[in-house]
Amino acid sequence: MKAIVVEGGAMRGIFAAGVLDRFIESDYFPFDFAIGVSAGTSNLVGYLAKQQKRSYNVITSLATSRSFFDPKRFLKGGSLVDVQWLVSQSEHSYPLNRNELFSTTPLWAAATNIETGQADYYNVTSDNIEMVLEATAALPIAYKQTPCFSGGCYADGGVADSIPVIEAYRRGAKEITVVLSHPLSYEMPESKSSWLVKRLLKKHPMIGQAMQERARRYNQSLDFIRNPPQDVTVRVIAPPESFSVKRLTMKQDVLNEGYQMGLEEGEKHLSSRKGVFGLTDENCHFCL
């Protein structure tokens, strides 16, 4: 089975938006299933709906607005980011082609269960899409609401499983394409303010614990990508070292540059799959 896994990373998702738009343009949909986290799920929704530039528009037009990101609101005790607004406004401004989205490739999204601190994986359907998109992107501390549905309450899926490549393997994928939000050289450092995080999350201690373990889990996923089991091929699409988009970058020129990098890296990946660079299924174990 073939799977695509897309990392989140808030505004860093502009890179994946470019990669997936290039895939749409080339009618490249070879995957048996997809798994996303946070912004990665939103990107995959646009990709599987075959709506080119939808994700780009959501990030550059909606996620940069004061209605979504408002530091003054946060200082007054509100949310720094209003995820529920972004989900509903995205559908209002750029309605999804649901017939296309739910016609072929199953989509799974990771959300962190606040009771266990572990990732739950939801199959995204027409009935739950709004709730899942909110839950998978519900950043602890920055988003004051706690989305609850299907018997659980959730925080951002990236807390427990930022790159669900191991989950893709557990679900039977033997060929996994991973779209990252950081250059390949990146490794997540251990948090230097874990005591503060635990204090801020005292109402949800298992989320605080998961935040402490996040770097270990993230780097464990990177290790799987770099050293996959013998029966698995992992292909990685990652931003170049010059990628300068941060989690909360709001500058249009920087976002546009990141999107262009995604388009270029997506094209490189497609070229490698076609053998343009002399690579084939047999000799390409770790294609960039």
55: annotated active-site residue: no
With beta carbons less than 8 A apart as the criterion, state whether 80 and 69 touch.
yes
- Count of beta carbons in the 10 Å neighbourhood of residue 7: 27
Residues 6+ apart with CB under 8 A from 114: 146, 152, 153, 154, 155, 204, 206, 207
Q: Which of 21, 82, 120, 156 is catalytic?
A: 156
Residue of 228, 235, 193, 232 lying closest to 214 (CA atoms): 193
| Per-residue b or e along 225-249, where b marks 16 or more CB atoms closer than 10 Å to that residue's CB | beebeeebbbbbbbbeeebebeeeb
The token pair that represents 42 in the structure block: 């939103």
With beta carbons less than 8 A apart as the criterion, state whether 152 and 112 touch.
no
Q: Which of 21, 38, 120, 181 is catalytic?
A: 38
CA distance 113 to 101: 26
82: annotated active-site residue: no
Tell me whether residue 23 is exposed, middle or buried, using C-beta atoms within 10 angstroms of its C-beta: 0 to 12, 13 to 18, 19 or more: buried
Helices 83-93 and 129-136, axial angle in degrees (round to 10): 140
| Per-residue b or e along 99-117, where b marks 16 or more CB atoms closer than 10 Å to that residue's CB | eebbeebbbbbbbbbbeeb
> Any idea which residues carry the catalytic annotation?
38, 156
